[in-house]
Structure 1
Amino acid sequence: MSTALSSMQALVPRFDTFLDRLTQRAHEVCSEAAAAVNELRSAGDEESIRSAQNLQDGVTLDMDEFAAKAHAAFGQHFGPYQDVDEEAVERLYASLEERLDRWEEHLHSIAEKAFTASDDEQIRAAWEAAVADWQAAADAFHCSQCSAPVAVPELYTQAVYLPCAGCGARTTFTPSSNMVAAKGYADLLAEIESRHALEMAEEAMTDQDIAPGLEYSYQANYMVTKQRKLRDLLPSAAAERRPLLAPEFADWVRIQEIPLEPIGYWQTDLAYVNMLTGLTDLMNECRWAGQDEDAELVIEMVQALARPGCEVVSAMVQGTVTRDFLLQHANAAMTRPSLPMDDHDTL
C-alpha cells in the first residue's frame, strides 16, 4: 500500500466523525426551528406567518453553511491527494467526493422533512380554525337594526358591510383574527394541494426527452392548478391574485435556459411552437373538464408571450387551433437557419 493511500485512509474516520457532528447539529437546528415556526404560525397573523417563513429560510442558509464547512474540510484534508497518479488513490478520492455529495443531499432533506410534515399539519389546522370561526359567526350574525339574521356568504378576511334582506340596513361584519389570517393560510394550503403539479413541473425541467419549450406548459399547469385550489378555498384571494399570474408566467419563461428569442431561427421558433402546443393541450384539458376560467387563464399566459401577429395565438383565442395547424408551424420552424453557436449553446 502506498504512503498516499494509507494517509488518506487514516483521514477517513476523522472526516466521517466530522460529518456526523455536523449532521447532529443540523438535526438540533431543524428541531428547534420547526418548533419555533409552529409557534409563530399558531399566532395566526400575517406578520407571524412572515416571520415563520423567514426563520425557515434561515435554516436553509444554515444547512448551506454546514455543507460549506464540510466541503472546506474535505478540500483541506483530501485536496492534496486529488492529483496523485495512483489508481487506488483516485478511486478512494472519487468515492469520498460522492459520499460528500450524498451527505449534502441528506443534510438538506433533514430540513425539508423537519418542516414539511409539521408545516402541512399546522397550515391545515389554521385554515380549519378560520373556517370554523366563519361558520360560527355566520350562524350568530344579525342585523343591527331589526335583529334579523344576515347572511355571511364567504370567509371575509377584513371588515365588510353586509346588507339585511329584511330591512335593507347594512351591518358591519368584523372577522376574527383566525379569519384575518386565512388569506395567507389559503395560499399555503393551495400550495400544498398543488404540490404534485409542482413536482411534475420540476421533473419536466430536467427531462432530456421533452421537446425544448414543451416543459414550460408544466409550469403553467402548476400555476393554474394552484390558482384553482385557491379559488376553491378563498375566492376573494384568488380574484386578487389572478391579474398577476400571466405576467409572472411570462417573466418566468424569459429567464429559463431554453430561449424563445430571437425570432427567425429554428431553435427558438421551434421552442416557441412547442410551448404553444403544450399550452394548447392544457387549455383543451381545462375546457374538457369544465374549467373555463382556468382555460381563460391559460390564454392570458399565451397572450403575455405572444409574438406580434402570431397565427397560433389567434387560433387559440378563437378556439380554432388544431393539432395539424400546430404541426405545420413546427415543420415551418425546422426550415429556418440555425442560431449562431454562442446563442444556442443551451439548446
Structure 2
Amino acid sequence: MAYSTDHELVLDFPILIGDIGGTNARFAIVVDSYAEPRQFPVVQTADHETIDDAIQSVLDQTNILPRSAVLAVAGPVDGDEIDLTNCHWVVRPRQMIETFGFRDIVVLNDFEAQALAVVALGEEHLEKIGGGEAETTGSRVVLGPGTGLGVAGLVHARRTWIPVPGEGGHVDLGPRSERDREIFPHLERIEGRISAEQILCGRGLVNLYRAIAKADGKEASWTEPAEITQAGLAHNEPIASEALDLFVTYLGRLAGDLALVFMSRGGVYLTGGIAQKIVPALKNGLFRSAFEDKAPHRNLLAGMPVFVITHPLAALMGLAAYARTPARFGVETAGRRWRAS
C-alpha cells in the first residue's frame, strides 16, 4: 500500500464520496474543485449484498466515471478488509480498484467525516444548545447517536484542522442518580458491561425504554426508536417521556466528559438523524444541566457551546471539502490509502 503525507495528496477528479453507516449509505460525486457534490438517492445497506453492488447501483445512474474515491465507514479502518460495525458489508479497496478502475481510494472513519463537516458547514446548519461563543480555532468534539454511537475530535494546529477518529461510543456509562440505580440493572449488557452505545443510539433508546418499564413493573408498549421518540416528544406516555429525558441526560453527561477530554472551546457538535429529531428535548434543560455538571469544572463547561448539526448530509459535505483540498486537513493516510499499481 502506498502512503503519502496529507500535503502531498492530490486526488484525480471526478471523485466519488460516500458516507457508509450501519443502515444508510449516501453517495455523491465531486466533479472538480469548485462544483457542489452531485448527490444520489440514499441507499439502504440491507438492499445490497455488498458495498460494491451499492456503488454500481449509484454509478448506473450517471455517465460520470469517477477516477478516485473517498469513503467514510462506520467502523475502524484496519487492513485490506474493513468490517463495518453495524452492517454486513466488508470494504475491500483493492478489489474496488479492480472493479471500478479507481486510481486512488481513501477510507476514513465515518465520524472523522463528521468532524471534517464541522468546519465545512455554515451557521445556517447549526442549532445552538446553550453555552458561550465558540473559539475560532478551539478544539471540537463531534458525537452522534444513530445506528450506533459515533465520536470524533477535531483539533487545530499549524493552520490545519486535524480530525481525531476513535471508538469513543464504546466507553463505559454508569449510574449516578438513585433513579439510575433502579433502571441500570435492567439494561441489556454486552459481556457484562454497559457501554455508552448500549443506551445512546436507536436500539439503545429501546433498551432504556424497556429497562424503565421493567424497573416499574409496567408493560412496554413500543418497540421502535421512532415510536418512543414520538411518544416522548408528545408527552403522551410516561415511560417514553422518561426514556427520552434520560436519553438526553446521559447524552449530556457523555458530551461533557468528552468536552473535558478535548478541552472543546470550539464547541461540541451533535450530529445524525436522532439528534435532529429530538432538538426540543435537547433544549428542555436536562441535556445542558448534565453537560455542565462536572465539578470542579462547571464554569468551564458552562462557557462551551453545544450545537446540533441540522444539515441532512453533513458527512458528505465534510468529505467533499477534504476531496477538493486535502492539504487543508491533517488527515492521516498511512494504511488508509490504496492506489492503482
TM-score by length of 1: 0.26
Q: Which structure is higher in helix share?
A: 1
Choose 1 or 2 for highest CA Rg. Answer: 1
1 or 2, which has the higher strand percentage?
2
